[in-house]
Amino acid sequence: MNLIKVDQSSCIKCGICTKVCPTGFLSMNENVPEETNSSSCIACGQCVAACPYGAIDNTKTPFSSQVNIEHFPVIDSQTAEYFLRSRRSIRCYKNTPVPQEKLLKLVDIAHFAPTASNTQCVSYIIVRDKKILENATKIIVDWMEHQSNKSHWSFSRHVSNYREAGIDTILRDAPHLILAIAPKEFKNGRENTISSLSYLELFATTIGLGSCWAGLFEMCAFSNYYPLLELFNIPTDKSITGAVMVGYPKYEYKRLVDRAPINVTCME
Ligand SMILES: Cc1cc2nc3c(=O)[nH]c(=O)nc-3n(C[C@H](O)[C@H](O)[C@H](O)COP(=O)(O)O)c2cc1C
């Protein structure tokens, strides 16, 4: 099956489409871009997006659904730096629920993050039901209590916060949780999830939302603790590969924090 259509009247045979193709699916044949084995096309859309003359179309990534970015404003580096540095882990949330459209927008942006071989294997569960989150915390505390004392992780602080003071230091009373899940057969599920949820966390700040990586939740989920997997109806062929809490931040941050001195080696 032919995936590629070249508009010969606008193609100047510059070969850019073949150079940006990651898999060698496209190559120049007598100065004309030509596809080789259609199964090697990973549907990344680079050929269509990079063609300066709009001469390439690809059934897997149609020209008509690509957005023209030629006249988009480019974010300046100072703004970009402040934007990236001003994302903070939010652990105190307002009690106000976030509308479903906003949460859907978050996962929509998350799914544009890069994935190994463009597998796009991550899917999402948006949890808006506070009762489910309360149950999740309860289940995770039970799980923590059953971990061996020899465990590298000390969970006792979280357990006593919950049991003695009624404070949730696991899901932080966040109104929402977004789970990433991936088929078990994909070996890059976790890596893909990390890039995806990082996009989500950064974008969240632009629509007034805060987020925090739910690492303790993940530890329990990664141990395949059945009551937790059952709570979220995780199918047996899929795994939870990541989780972030989301909500409206209760407090506003006034300053950018510094990090420890950077450790970098330059090899020239
Ligand atoms: C993989 C991962 C797991 C994390 N797990 C938790 C967690 O379970 N609870 C929490 O409060 N913060 C968690 N964090 C947030 C880190 O503590 C936080 O990113 C770090 O302290 C730096 O602060 P900042 O995000 O505000 O810049 C996690 C972060 C990452 C990347």
- For residue 152, pLDDT over 70 is answered with no
CA dihedral 236, 145, 173, 108 (to 10 degrees): -30
Given a cut of 90, whether residue 150 has pLDDT beyond it is no
Instruction: Flag the least confident range among 42-51, 99-108, 154-163, 196-205.
Output: 154-163
Q: What are phi and psi of 25, to 5 degrees?
A: -60, -35
Token representation of residue 212: 């925090």
pLDDT at 40: 94
Mean of pLDDT values over 229-246 = 98
* pLDDT band at 49; cut points 50, 70, 90: very high
Helix then strand then coil, % of the chain, to nearest 5: 35, 15, 45
Q: How far is the CA of 86 from the centre of ligand 1 (A)?
A: 14
Test site for ligand 1: of 88, 179, 213, most ligand atoms within 8 A of the Cβ: 213
Distances (CA, A) of 116 to 84, 196, 240: 23, 12, 18
Q: What pTM was estimated for this model as a whole?
A: 0.95
Q: How far is the CA of 214 from the centre of ligand 1 (A)?
A: 7
Tell me if 64 sits within 8 A of 5, measured CB to CB.
no
Q: Indicate which residue's Cα is closest to atom 7 of ligand 1.
A: 215
